[in-house]
Chains A and B, each alone.
Chain A
Amino acid sequence: MKNMVLLTGSSHPKLAKKISETLGVELSECKLGKFSNHETSVEIKSSVREKHVYIIQSGCGRVNDNLIELFILIQACRMGSAKRITVVTPLFPYSRQSEKSQKKRLPQHQIGSEIMNSLTHNKETSPTMPQGVFAQSFMGMSPAENGYREWCARAGTLVSNLLQAAGTDHLIAMDLHDPQYQGFFRIPVDLIYAEPCITQWIRSEIPNWRQAVVVSPDAGGAKRATSICNKLNLDFALIHKEDLGNTKESMGLVGEVNGRPAIILDDMIDSGSTIGLASEILKRHGASEIYAIAIHGVFSGPALEIINKSPVDVVACTNTVPQEDFLKQCPKLRTIDIAPMLAEIIRRTFYGESVTQLFVHDEHI
C-alpha cells in the first residue's frame, strides 16, 4: 500500500479514521481550516506525487463548505502531481433532485405549516423562518399573479460537472438516491450498497426476524425493499401515498403486518416525517414491533423529536453521516458501521480486484 494516500475532509473525520485503521494505511496529515474572511484553507503536509489519492468527504453538516473543501483538496492533489484521484462520498451531496410534483422535499420557505405542526404535535411552534433575504419578498407573490409556474433548480448535473472539472478520476459513492446519476459522469463511478451490512444487522439484532415484514414507506423505494426481502426470504408490504391535491394526502397500507414485526426500509431519514407517518399506519394495522432502517441518517430539523414521539421501537442508520450527537438525543437510535465495507472497496479498487464479489457473496461480510 506504499503508493496509496488517504485524505479526509472535515465532514466525517471519525469514519475516515476507522477506514484507515481497517486498511492499515495512516491518514495523511492535512491541515484544514478557514481564513479570517471565511475562505477555505487546505494544506497537505506530505507528498502526493505519483501516488493514488483517496479523498473521503461526506455531503453532510455544512454541505456547501464541505463541497468546496472537497474541490480544493482535489485541485491541490492535482497540482501536486498525484497519479490518480479517487473521491469517496459516503453521502453524495445534492443527490436529491427536487420534483415539483412530489412535494416531498420543499425549501423551508414553502413547507406547509399544518404538516409540520401536526408532526411535531405542538401547535405553538411556527415553521422555521425562511433563510435568505429574498424569501420574504417572494412569499407575497403567488404563481397565479404572473401566470408563471416557478421551478426549483436541480443541482445534480452541476455537482457532477464540478467534480470532474476539479480533477476527479474516479468516484465511489454509496447508495445514490437515483442510480441513474452515474450517467451524469464521464469518469468511472462505483456505486456501492449498504445492503449486505443491513441484512447482517437484521439477522443479528432483530430477534424474530424470520416472521418480519419488510415495508417500503413509498412506491419509489419498493425495489430496494424487495431486494432485501429476496435475500432474507421475507414478506413485503408497501405504504402508498395518495395525492388528493392541495397538500392533502392519504396513506394506505398494501400488504399484511398484523401480529408481526415490521421493518420500514428507506434510503434516507431527513425530516423524519415519512418514518413518523409510516409507523403510525403500521401501528394501526397491528404490527407487533416497528423497526426503521435507513442508510443515510441526516436527521435535520425536528426529525429526532418526531421519531422519539412516534411508535417506532428502534431506528438504525449507517454512519455515512456522523451519528454521535444524534445517538445522545434519541435512545431509539442504533448505528450500522459501514467503515469496513468502504475500506474493503478502497483496497479492492487500489489493487484492481473485483468489487462486485462483495455484493454477491454477502455471507462473508
Chain B
Amino acid sequence: MSSNSIRILAGNSHPALAKLIAKRLGTDLANVTVSKYSNQETAVTIGESVRDEDVYIIQSGCGEINDHLMELLILINACKTASARRITAVLPCFPYARQDKKDKSRAPISAKLVANMLTVAGADHVITMDLHASQIQGFFDRPVDNLYGEPSVLRYIRENIPDWKNAIIVSPDAGGAKRATSIADHLDLDFALIHKERKKANEVSRMVLVGDVKEKVAILVDDMADTCGTLGLAAKTLMENGASAVYAIVIHGVLSGKALDVINNSMLTRVVVTNTIPHAEKKKLCPKLDTIDVSAVLAEAIRRTHNGESVSYLFGHATI
C-alpha cells in the first residue's frame, strides 16, 4: 500500500499564489491546462494521473469570477471522475460571499448556491480564508476550514507600523466591530468605531467617530476593500478628529472600479492587503499599497490537512 501524495492544481485566477504555495510545500504545480474553446466554453485538460491522490485545487474568487468559478467546478469534477482519493477546494477569497442572506424579496443567496455547486461537483473539503460571515460554513455539508489572517495581520502591525504601541484599532463600520476588538485585545491597544448615520435614505451619510483618536496612529481593519468609498471617508473622519496617521489593513483587496483613485486621493498613509487576490498590477498604479503574504498560512493548512494534524494551531500563531 503506497501512501498518496499532495497534488496542487491551479486555475487561472491567481497563479502566482499557487506557485508560492507549491514552493512552500516543496512540490511542483500539477500539469493542468485551463483555457477556452472558441465558443467561450471552458476547456480543462489534465496532463498527469491523479488516481488515488490527495488533490488541492487553488482558485480564488476574483477577476472574472464566473469564468473562474466554472473553471474550479470543472477541475473538481474532472478529478472526481479521474478517481482522486480526496478533493479539497482551496478558495483564498470565497466568491459571492457577500450575497449570504435574503435581505429583500426574491434576493438569491448566492453563497449557498456556490456551496451547493462545490458539493455537487465533488469537493470533499473546502479551505477558505476569512469568510465574510463565518456562518457560511454552515451552508456546506462537507467540512470547511475557515482560516484567519489575523495572526499575519498582528505580525505585520508589530513589524511594520512605527509607534504601534501608541496606535488605536478602528472599525470602519458597526459590522466589523468584533474583528477589530479581537485585534485590539491581542495587541493590548484601544479600540474605536465609525458609525454611519443615515438621516435620510440616499443621502450622503455622516460618519460619526465613537472613541478617541487624538494624536494616535489609527489602524482601520476590515475584511474586504472593494470600491474603498468607506475607507476613504473613514480616513477623512479620523484625520479631522486628530489622528496623526491612518493605516488600513484588509484581508481581501478586491479594489474594483475607482478604488485606486480613491486611495491615492485620500488621507490614508498606507493600505495593506493580503495576497488572496492578485494585485501586482495595481501596486504599480498605487504606491500606497502594501502586501501581507498569506501563502504560508494556506500551505501549512494544506500540509496539516494532508498529514491529519491539527489546523487550529494556525488560528493563533503566525507561520514562520
Interface residues of A (CB under 8 A from B): 35-40, 42-44, 47-48, 59-65, 67-69, 71-73, 75-77, 79-80, 93-94, 98, 105, 107-109, 128, 130-135, 138, 141, 146, 148, 150-155, 157-158, 161-162, 164-166, 270-271, 298, 300-301
Contacts and interface: CB of A to CB of B under 8 A. Distances in A.
A98 B102 CA distance: 39
A295 B63 CA distance: 34
Contacts of B81: 153-154
Interface stretch (B45-53, B168-176, B197-205): B45-53
A128 B38 CA distance: 9
Given A38-B65, A75-B110, A135-B33, 20 more contacts: A39-B65, A40-B66, A42-B108, A63-B40, A65-B66, A67-B66, A75-B108, A76-B107, A79-B106, A80-B106, A93-B41, A98-B43, A146-B31, A148-B49, A153-B45, A153-B81, A155-B41, A155-B74, A158-B73, A270-B39
A125 to B, nearest CB: 14
Going nearest first, the 5 A-B pairs with the smallest beta carbon separation are A153-B78, A132-B35, A107-B43, A76-B108, A80-B106
A301 to B, nearest CB: 4
A63 B39 contact: yes
B226 interface: yes
B256 A62 contact: no
A133 B15 contact: yes
Contacts, number: 181
Contact of B46 (A38, A39, A150, A165): A150
B44 to A, nearest CB: 4
A107 B32 CA distance: 13
7 contacts: A37-B65, A38-B64, A47-B106, A48-B106, A69-B66, A109-B33, A162-B121
B75 interface: yes
**Number of chain B interface residues as a range:** 35 or more
Nearest to B73: A158
A107 B67 contact: no
Given A36-B256, A37-B226, A79 B107 contact: yes
B34 interface: yes
B232 to A, nearest CB: 15
Contact of B106 (A63, A76, A301): A76
B105 A47 contact: yes
B38 A165 contact: no
A155 B42 contact: yes
Given A132-B36, A150-B45, A153-B45, A68 B108 contact: no
B22 to A, nearest CB: 13
B83 interface: no
B106 to A, nearest CB: 4
Contacts of A107: 33, 35-37, 43, 45
Interface stretch (B112-120, B233-241, B309-317): B112-120
A165 B77 contact: no
B251 to A, nearest CB: 15
Contact of A94 (B35, B41, B99, B121): B41
B37 A105 contact: yes
B235 to A, nearest CB: 20
B12 interface: yes
Contacts of A135: 33, 35
A136 B264 CA distance: 36
Interface in B72-127: 73-75, 77-78, 81, 95-96, 98-99, 102, 105-110, 112-113, 116-117, 119-121
A108 B43 CA distance: 9
A69 B65 CA distance: 12
Contacts of B32: 134, 138
B254 interface: yes
Contacts of B49: 148
B39 A300 contact: yes
B74 A62 contact: no
B208 interface: no
Nearest to A69: B66
Given A157-B77, A158-B73, A158-B74, A134 B33 contact: yes
A133 B70 CA distance: 16
B116 to A, nearest CB: 4
A35 B257 CA distance: 10
Nearest to B68: A64
Contact of A165 (B75, B120, B257): B120
Contacts of A271: 38
A62 B227 contact: no
Interface in B118-155: 119-121
Given A39-B65, A68-B66, A162-B120, A132 B33 contact: yes
A133 B37 CA distance: 15
A148 B35 contact: no
Interface in B14-35: 15, 31-35
B50 to A, nearest CB: 11
Given A42-B108, A153-B45, A165-B116, A130 B67 contact: no
B45 A152 contact: yes
B69 interface: yes
A48 B108 CA distance: 13
B113 A72 contact: yes
Contact of A131 (B10, B35, B121): B35
Contacts of B73: 158, 162
